[in-house]
Amino acid sequence: KQEVTQIPAALSVPEGENLVLNCSFTDSAIYNLQWFRQDPGKGLTSLLLIQSSQREQTSGRLNASLDKSSGRSTLYIAASQPGDSATYLCASAAGNKLTFGGGTRVLVKP
Amino acid sequence: GAGVSQSPSNKVTEKGKDVELRCDPISGHTALYWYRQSLGQGLEFLIYFQGNSAPDKSGLPSDRFSAERTGGSVSTLTIQRTQQEDSAVYLCASSLDAREQFFGPGTRLTVL
């Protein structure tokens, strides 16, 4: 059974610092890995999707890497802004469903 | 184009009542998923529909939970004889060919 872990559970940084969010998974037989953002009381917004054959994906200030052999993915957010404050979730896809980590709650202080 | 929509956004019900939650996927998306997000359990997969294939119900927590998808589009998640532990946010997602999933805003269910 796939298990996805995100550490730390919470993170607080001053504005302008780079953010590094970690995601680990136990079963490397994944189809893809997806990063989401969730604001309080809202649904999930897809940020980046990395196919199993890819090593990384980039979108603006966001960069996500994938290392299947070690069972890890990392989301980097450059030059953080207060508007980046949210919970970030990673999820691995295998078969028909996503298995989610517990999320990292991020606070970017002005 | 419109994203995934869900209704109602909030539902408060009494223990023992039945509830129906609705999901309208993105037009043209063949795959539809239901997930549940609760404080103690995080985000859990419930059920998956793909085209006309039999749904994957492996995540449904009990036989009080059921879902259907009519005409390959709208889906309804039904919870019979609700219990307090059913209180959660129910999220629906859709995707094209089972790739990137796009989520709706969720329905917050509170069982008193």
Q: What is the pLDDT of residues A24-56, one digit of tens each?
A: 999 888 889 999 999 988 889 999 999 999 999
Specify the pLDDT at position B52.
83
Total count of residues recorded for chain B: 112
Distance CA B54, CA A70 (A): 35
Using CA coordinates, name the residue in chain A closest to B39: A102
Residue type, A87: T
Look at A42 and A72; give whichever has higher pLDDT: A72
Between chains, do A43 and B91 touch, taking CB under 8 Å as contact? Answer: yes
Residue B1 has pLDDT above 60, yes or no: no
B102 — contact with chain A (CB < 8 Å)?
yes
Specify the pLDDT at position B109.
97
pLDDT band at B39 (very low <50, low <70, confident <90, very high): confident
A94 — contact with chain B (CB < 8 Å)?
no
A42 — contact with chain B (CB < 8 Å)?
yes
Look at B52 and A60; give whichever has higher pLDDT: A60
What average pLDDT does chain A have?
A: 94
- Mean pLDDT, range B68-75, rounded to an integer: 89
B27-48 residues labelled b (16+ CB within 10 A) or e (exposed): eebbbbbbbbbeeeebbbbbbb
Distance CA A84, CA A42 (A): 15
Specify the pLDDT at position B72.
76
Distance CA A46, CA B103 (A): 8
